Amino acid sequence: MKRVYTYILPFFAFILLLSSFNIKNEITNPDPEKDKVLISVINYMLTNGHYLPKDLDDDFSEKVFTDFIDGLDPSKRYFTQEDIQEFSQYKYQIDNQIKGSELTFYHLVYGRFTEKIQTAKEYYGQILAQPFNFSKKEIIDINYKDVPFAENQNELINYWRKQLKLNTIGRIQGKQDLENEKVKEDKKFKKTPFKTLEKEARKEVLKSMKELYLRIEELEHSDWFSTFLNSIVSGFDPHSTYMAPKIKERFDQNMSGKLEGIGARLQKKGIYTHIVELISGGPAWKQGELEVGDIILKVAQADGEPLEIVGMRLDDAIKFIKGKKGTEVRLTVKKKLDGSIQVISIIRDVVNLNETFVKSSIVLKNNKKYGVIHLPQFYIDFKDKEFRDSAKDMEKEIENLKKEHVEGLLIDLRNNGGGSLKTAIEIAGLFINKGPIVQIKYRGERPVIKNDLDSKIQWNGPLVILVNEFSASASEIFAAAMQDYNRAIILGGNQTYGKGTVQNVLSINRFYPKYKKDLGFLKMTIQKFYRINGGSTQKEGVYSDIAMPSRYSYMKFGERDMEGSLEWDKVAKATYQEANSYENFDEVVYNSKERILKNPKFKLINEYAKWLKEEQEKTTFSLNYKQFIKDTKKYKKNSQKYKSAFKFDSKLHFVSPISELPLLEKDSVIADKRMAWHTNLSKDIYVAEALNVLSELKMRTQFKLVKN
């Protein structure tokens, strides 16, 4: 209970502090009291609960100043140096304003920003009304982080002109490329004059800008205030964030892999809400009348009066369409096919986001069967313990594969950004006897060792884990434990993402219960992960036993490249005994490294990665059309060298396990997705090499004696 008391003991004094606020209504803010409460409570929570507390000083103030302005104006489209100069009077006072729950800086910047948004419509409208001069020799630098703010209004308009000109020039080029392809097919095809293409391109850019600003206008004060709050919260570390209620709802859906509603993805286009996808197995998909491309005009709850949602914010429209399992919603829809108006009744239900869940495949290699398991994230539903989670699903998947007598398992954790630590520990326990899996450290305390307490080993055969530079957090805990136990060979990029911190999602209302409106949530870093060998996964991640070149090999995007990320350190090693599962571990690793070194495909991928890095660092583009086309042709010519880098066919045939066949017979959408996945697996050079490694691994006799 010690950690709980660090929050609770000063709590009542804190309530008294908040109760003493004398808050004035501010014209620009519909709920000024809520904003001030949020600032105070979040400051309190971060100061008392964050793993590495920060001093709210001038340095912190300067960071919030920069981050908030960049958050509102990342492309330098709105503010001028004159604006920044005016804002700068508060550059080193924001820390004091946070402590005093003052919002002077925020209101000044936000007020100016809303003015600039309105002015921007005039800019892009006037600029796009006239043809661009493409014979002029000029460039644009899109590295906006280093580009200075415009000196004055005239230079700001010039920034706009260049950005819109770049958008237009790209569209013209795309149109010309399409026409060149048509000429190859039909020699009589007449190309459209440049002036016509230019006019069409400007019209398309104008339409795109109008749609963008329709979406911007739908944002409310609370959305922009969230940007300010996050400029404060991220000052503690990159993974601590403020989550408004609607953001928290999406977070829960992603973590659990389910939601309640009709099972359709919606998108706002202009003033209309369009159906862009029906989720396989969901209520709308089962009902069969709603189709992709349909437009929802009205929404009614059961027998209630229909509510028109044309022109409504998408988030608000979704609130009326979603609802509890078993309730009825009636949608008035304009059909894409014939434009007819129909009323479609759908009974809401739980919708499973199937692409979130574990799936497996079986492949025959050298007359031996191997199982491939894809785990996209470590999912769990904290509210419903009976609902599926990644650990339960993984155990079932392995059991089904064992029934088909697979002789090795490949677990694919590529692009798995993490999720539930609990399920990561439980999944690790499926492959070892009981023992420590990870160490977790709270601020100012000794590490706590989290153990697998179940001596059962679900899988005692060969195990290979495939990772990449985007495998993070819980993925790294699982992979690190398997590496430290010498239970699996880790293949992938040189190292994983390097997120070795733990975040807890806390209701802000819990810390100020007298306030009745929903204040949202704070996702706050409260712990650090450590491997059982003592090293943190923070920044370092997990180094692969076998590193394979990838397109990301030289890119900067891991935790080690993030500003403000916590540092790597280590703690004492936990007590554990290596499994020493394999009699030929070193030999298999050596053989794989030799294959990779000699493989011309991997050599080409490595060269491609270096070239991508060079291109990533180029941030200037010519706005002279002839030079732009010349540069584009040069880029395409160079890229052709690497066109075949990922063209690969292992000739292996992947199939679904027998246990999944009834589902595929019932659901053609999932069946099609599985077929596409199997095709991609057969063309995946990384999976092919992982299977080579898996097929060579030999278990030690004493490890085989452990019963499943």
Could you read off the pLDDT of 439-478 as tens digits, one per residue? 999 999 999 999 998 889 999 999 999 999 999 999 999 9
3-state secondary structure 383-409: CCCCCCCHHHHHHHHHHHHHHCCCCCE
Rounded distance between C-alpha atoms, residue 648 and residue 637, angstroms? 21
* Axis crossing angle, helix 58-72 with helix 221-233, rounded to the nearest 10: 140
In the prediction, which pLDDT does 309 show? 82
Average pLDDT over residues 670-689: 93
Question: Which residue is associated with the tokens 């790294």?
Answer: 476
371 and 508 in one domain? yes
Confidence bin at 282 (pLDDT 50/70/90): confident
Residue 605 has pLDDT above 60, yes or no: yes
Provide the mean pLDDT of the chain. Answer: 87
| Cβ(620)–Cβ(139) below 8 Å | yes
Rounded distance between C-alpha atoms, residue 195 and residue 364, angstroms? 58
229 and 263 in one domain? no
Each residue's pLDDT tens digit, 303-340: 888 888 876 777 778 888 888 888 999 999 888 776 77
364 and 285 in one domain? no
Rounded distance between C-alpha atoms, residue 80 and residue 156, angstroms? 7
Token pair recorded at residue 555: 């890119």
184 lies in some domain = yes
**Residue 441 CB: number of other CB atoms within 10 A?**
18
183 and 303 in one domain? no
Rounded distance between C-alpha atoms, residue 436 and residue 453, angstroms? 9
| Cβ(317)–Cβ(267) below 8 Å | no
285 lies in some domain = yes
DSSP state of 572: P
User: By 3-state DSSP, what share of the chain in percent is helix, strand and coil, each rounded to 5?
Assistant: 45, 20, 40
Residue 269 has pLDDT above 60, yes or no: yes
Token pair recorded at residue 207: 């339409």
| Cβ(372)–Cβ(412) below 8 Å | yes
Task: Give the H/E segment covering residue 546.
Answer: strand 546-547
| Cβ(472)–Cβ(489) below 8 Å | no
524 and 588 in one domain? yes
Rounded distance between C-alpha atoms, residue 246 and residue 602, angstroms? 44
Token pair recorded at residue 494: 């040189």
Strands in 132-204 per DSSP E: 139-141
Rounded distance between C-alpha atoms, residue 19 and residue 11, angstroms? 12
Rounded to two decimals, the pTM is: 0.81
| Cβ(371)–Cβ(401) below 8 Å | yes
Residue 387 has pLDDT above 80, yes or no: no
Burial of 632 (0-12, 13-18, 19+ CB in 10 A): middle
Each residue's pLDDT tens digit, 502-533: 998 899 999 998 888 889 999 999 999 999 99
In the prediction, which pLDDT does 517 show? 85
Rounded distance between C-alpha atoms, residue 16 and residue 10, angstroms? 10
42 lies in some domain = no
675 and 529 in one domain? yes
Residue 199 has pLDDT above 60, yes or no: yes
- The CATH number that applies at residue 322 is 2.30.42.10
Q: Which of 295, 326, 352 is the last residue of a domain?
A: 352
372 and 346 in one domain? no
Confidence bin at 249 (pLDDT 50/70/90): low
C-alpha dist (Å) from residue 362 to 88, 270, 404, 415, 581 = 62, 46, 9, 21, 23
In the prediction, which pLDDT does 278 show? 76
539 and 611 in one domain? yes
Burial of 620 (0-12, 13-18, 19+ CB in 10 A): exposed
Each residue's pLDDT tens digit, 61-111: 999 999 999 999 999 999 999 999 999 999 999 999 999 999 999 999 999
What is the DSSP track for 680-695? HHHT-HHHHHHHHHHH
Average pLDDT over residues 568-582: 93
Rounded distance between C-alpha atoms, residue 462 and residue 469, angstroms? 24
343 and 379 in one domain? no
Please name which of 459, 652, 604, 464 lies closest in space to residue 546, comparing C-alpha atoms: 464
Q: Which of 291, 317, 352 is the last residue of a domain?
A: 352
Token pair recorded at residue 262: 């009709």
Residue 1 has pLDDT above 50, yes or no: no
15 lies in some domain = no
| Cβ(356)–Cβ(379) below 8 Å | yes
668 and 616 in one domain? yes
Rounded distance between C-alpha atoms, residue 651 and residue 239, angstroms? 42
SS3 556: coil
Please name which of 638, 647, 643, 468 lies closest in space to residue 555, comparing C-alpha atoms: 468
Give the Cα-Cα-Cα angle 98, 104, 110 (nearest 5 degrees): 105
81 lies in some domain = yes
- The CATH number that applies at residue 424 is 3.90.226.10
226 and 271 in one domain? no
326 and 391 in one domain? no
Phi, psi of 205 (to 5 degrees): -65, -40
The percent of residues in the chain predicted with pLDDT above 70, rounded, is: 91
186 lies in some domain = yes
Please name which of 675, 612, 673 lies closest in space to residue 646, comparing C-alpha atoms: 612
Of the given ranges (125-134, 294-303, 338-347, 528-537), which has the lowest mean pLDDT? 338-347
27 lies in some domain = no
In the prediction, which pLDDT does 350 show? 76
Region for 75 from its dihedrals, namely left if φ exceeds 0, alpha if ψ lies in -120 to 50, beta otherwise: alpha
Token pair recorded at residue 349: 């239900």
Residue 5 has pLDDT above 50, yes or no: no
Q: Which of 352, 368, 385 is the last residue of a domain?
A: 352
37 lies in some domain = no
Domain range for 201? 54-235
**Residue 707 CB: number of other CB atoms within 10 A?**
7
The DSSP bridge pattern shows strands 435-442 and 409-412 to be unpaired
Please name which of 478, 473, 449 lies closest in space to residue 463, comparing C-alpha atoms: 478
In the prediction, which pLDDT does 10 show? 37
Token pair recorded at residue 27: 């014209």
The percent of residues in the chain predicted with pLDDT above 90, rounded, is: 59
Kindly provide the b/e burial profile for residues 481-518, where b requires at least 16 CB atoms within 10 angstroms of the residue's own CB.
bbbbbebbbbbbbbbbbbbbbbbeebebbebbeebeee
Number of domains in the chain: 3
The DSSP bridge pattern shows strands 409-412 and 368-374 to be parallel
